Amino acid sequence: MTVLIDEPIWPAHDTLWSHLVSDASLDELHAFAADVGISRRAFDLDHYDVPQERYSQLVSAGAEPVTIREMVTRLQASGLRVSQRERRGVAH
C-alpha cells in the first residue's frame, strides 16, 4: 500500500488541510479512506482533502508523509493525477 499525505498547509474553512493520495490506484485510496473513516464526500477527483487534526492519525494508520513536490511527482508518474485543465472541465 502506498498512500501518501502532504503537510497540512492548505488553508480553508478556518483550518489547514492535507491531501491524501495513492500512487498505486484509486481503489487503494478509497479503501484506506474508508478504513480510517474519511467520508467519500472528501474525495476530489484524485485526492481526499483532510483537516490538520487528522494528520497524525493518518500517518499512524500508514499514510506516508511526503512533500507536496514529491506527492505531485509520484501522482503524475502513476498516471492518476488530474490536471488543472481537466479539473476546470469537471463540475463540482
Cβ atoms within 10 A of the Cβ of 38, count?
Answer: 19
> Alpha helix (H) ranges present in 1-92?
26-35, 55-60, 68-78, 84-88
**Which pLDDT tens digit goes with each residue over 1-60?**
589 999 999 999 999 999 999 999 999 999 999 999 999 999 998 899 999 999 999 999
Could you tell me the residue range of the domain that residue 32 belongs to? 3-88
Number of domains into which the chain is organized: 1
Would you give the DSSP letter of residue 75? H
